[in-house]
Chains A and B, each alone.
Chain A
Amino acid sequence: MSTTDPHAIATQLRQGAPGANASSEHAARAAQRVSAHAAQARLADVSYAPVDSPLGNLLVAATKRGLVQVAFPEQQVDTVLDELAARISPRIIESPASLDPIRRELDEYFAGTRRNFDLALDWALIGPFAKRVLHATHDIPYGHTLSYAEVATHAGSPRGSRAAGNALGSNPLPIVIPCHRVLRSGGALGGYAGGLDKKRWLLGLEGALAPHP
Chain B
Amino acid sequence: MSDTLPPFQRFLDTHRDEVWRFLVSSVGPTDADDCFQETFISALRAYPRLRPDSNLRAWALTIAHRKALDSHRAKARRAVPVDDVDGLDRHDGLGEPDGSGGNGEHPAVTRDERLWAAVHELPARQRSAVVLRFVGDLPHSDIASAIGCSEEAARRSLHEGLTKLRKAIPA
The number of residues on chain B lying at the interface, defined by a beta carbon within 8 Å of a beta carbon of chain A, is 56
Contact residues of B between 85 and 116, Cβ < 8 Å to A:
88, 92, 94-98, 100-101, 109, 111-113, 115-116
Q: A12-B112, A34-B40, A85-B5 are in contact. Are A18 and B95 (CB under 8 A)?
A: yes
Contact partner, B162, options A10, A17, A24, A30, Cβ 8 Å: A10
B24 x A19 contact (CB < 8 A): yes
Q: A5-B171, A19-B24 are in contact. Are A14 and B134 (CB under 8 A)?
A: yes
B48 x A34 contact (CB < 8 A): no
- Which B residues lie within 8 Å of A4 (CB)? 166, 169-171
| CB of A125 closer than 8 Å to a CB of B | no
Assembly CA distance A20 to B30 (angstroms): 12
**How many residue pairs, one in A and one in B, have C-beta atoms under 8 Å apart?**
155
Assembly CA distance A28 to B37 (angstroms): 12
Distance in angstroms from A182 CB to nearest chain B CB is 31
A22 x B116 contact (CB < 8 A): no
A82 x B1 contact (CB < 8 A): yes
Give the interface centre of A18, A23, A38, A93 by most chain B CB atoms within 10 Å: A18
| CB of B44 closer than 8 Å to a CB of A | yes
A19 x B6 contact (CB < 8 A): no
A90 x B6 contact (CB < 8 A): yes
A20 x B9 contact (CB < 8 A): no
Assembly CA distance A156 to B10 (angstroms): 42
Query: Considering only CB atoms, which chain B residue lies closest to A3 in the complex?
Result: B171
Q: A37-B41, A91-B44 are in contact. Are A1 and B171 (CB under 8 A)?
A: yes
B7 x A85 contact (CB < 8 A): yes
- Majority secondary structure, B binding face: helix
Contact residues of B between 122 and 145, Cβ < 8 Å to A:
130-131, 134-135, 137
Distance in angstroms from A128 CB to nearest chain B CB is 23
- Interface, chain A (partner B; CB < 8 A): 1-6, 8-10, 12-24, 26-28, 30-31, 33-35, 37-38, 43-46, 48, 78, 81-82, 84-86, 89-94
- Interface, chain B (partner A; CB < 8 A): 1, 4-10, 12-13, 16-17, 19-22, 24-25, 28-29, 33, 36-37, 40-41, 44-45, 47-48, 88, 92, 94-98, 100-101, 109, 111-113, 115-116, 119, 130-131, 134-135, 137, 162, 165-166, 169-171
